[in-house]
Structure 1
């Protein structure tokens, strides 16, 4: 019996999209009972549209997710992290394969905590072999994390850089030049709540100077922007 897997590729680089497509075609050619119906989105707006469209018919089974993506025009979804968390909330059973160029261990641990991907790969190591292995493992309910990812996570697993979506929205808006007093206009928190979050972020990133400029620099160094 043929098994149809509705597959959403969220990626803004065509070469990577082509690589995913070839890997899916290879898996299907070796397993004739599996068919992938592929949809592609190249930014957060398009991906959000496909997710919202799929909600009505539960049409997402497998997702390839890039982390660094062009944000939504309304700035509500600013990265693949946001899309991944939305997918998890709307489709609890969805299988998510994340690939990223980020190799900062703190950032990778945060992706694992927040998105909870079934597979996490570095783009620098993507090839047909590990892509095929990741797909086969994930569709058979077996997590797949590449060796470099596991090594990085083990080295710094004790560090708590667990930022939620509001923290990352704040960092993103500050990186655009927004002032603290302007943040309640785009983030649904009071000014007191914003300031409390900022104090926590300054502690997390060891920002002794407490300046927004230094906070943004430290967040970029850790791969959060």
Structure 2
């Protein structure tokens, strides 16, 4: 009997959730002797990046990653969220499949993630059960996408076609949420102050923010899960 070995990374802020995911994955292996899983766990972007780097250095394979969008930022501010980590995985390990597991259910946010990452699996945590995760893993190991019912419902809803929020926009929102001044931002974002200001105006337009200050923009961005 040929055993298919799968390398898995679980990346979520909550240790209990990571342990639960690991137990579910282990159960899949126990019930299906054709599969064997080697699972790593991390709770932040720093740890996840270290595992990705080791995978590349050792020339091994990372079959899939179970990823929370609200992963704690890296210390150098270069990887701010699970989405940024996913983009890095897409670039450095293009064959790795991504399952997003998130509590964010904002329509704009979901569509934005699909535009940037196009994940093989996408589950809203309110839909998450052991059966749901098992089905997602079984599907993607067979090259079949898997989206939970809330994700499918949100994808059917139309959103404005002119909205576009990329990684630089999210970095601007993050710096604003930290209280960074506009003159300081070019130290952290590879753009001029004028370009950053232009992007901030675009973000206010996207989120329909009329106020002159940044407080309302930050609050709405947090509400929608972009920070």
Q: What is the TM-score normalised by the length of structure 2?
A: 0.94
SS at 1:180 equivalent? coil
Query: What residue is the counterpart of 2:23 in the other structure?
Result: 22
| 8 Å CA contact 1:106, 1:159 repeated in 2 | no
2:139 alignment counterpart: 137
Greater mean deviation of Cα atoms: 75-84 or 149-158: 149-158
Unmatched tracts of structure 1, length 5 or more? none
Moved over 3 A (4+): 156-161
Counterpart Cα distance in 1 of 2:187 and 2:161: 32
Query: Do 1:106 and 1:156's aligned partners in 2 also have CA atoms closer than 8 Å?
Result: no
User: 1: distance between equivalents of 2:71 and 2:7?
Assistant: 21
Instruction: Give the Cα separation in 1 of the matches to 2:147 and 2:89.
Output: 20
Give the gaps of 5 or more residues in structure 2: none
Q: Deviation per CA, 1:32-87: give whole Å up to 9, x if none.
A: 12111011111111111111111121431110001112111111111101000100
Which residue is equivalent to 1:113? 115
Q: CA deviation at 1:174?
A: 0.4
Match of 1:179 among 171, 178, 181: 181
- Provide, for residues 3-43 of structure 1, a one-character-per-residue CA deviation record: whole Å limited to 9, x for no partner: 21111111121221122112212221232121110111111
Residue 202 (structure 2) aligns with: 200
Other structure's SS at 1:64 match = strand
Cα displacement (A) at 1:208:
2.0
Q: Where do residues 11-90 of structure 1 align in structure 2 (5 Å cutoff)?
A: 11-56=12-57, 57-90=59-92
CA RMSD of aligned residues (A): 1.4
8 Å contact kept, 2:68–2:100: yes
SS of the counterpart of 1:181?
coil
**In 2, Cα distance between equivalents of 1:157 and 1:60:** 34
Q: 1:104 aligns with which of 106, 128, 152?
A: 106
* Distance (whole Å) between structure 2 residues aligned to residue 155 and residue 94 of structure 1: 29
SS of the aligned residue for 1:4 comes to strand
Quote the residue 2:4 is aligned against: 3
Q: How many angstroms does 1:157 deviate by? A: 4.1
Q: Structure 1 residue 158: deviation in Å?
A: 4.4
Question: For 1:42 and 1:218, how far apart are their aligned partners in 2?
Answer: 26
Q: How does 1:119-158 map to 2 (within 5 A)?
A: 119-158=121-160
State yes or no: 1:165 paired with 2:167. Answer: yes
Please say if residues 127 and 149 of structure 2, whose CA atoms lie closer than 8 Å, have aligned partners that are also in contact.
Answer: no
Task: Answer yes or no: is the 8 Å Cα contact 1:202–1:210 preserved in 2.
Answer: no
Secondary structure at 2:184's aligned position in 1? helix
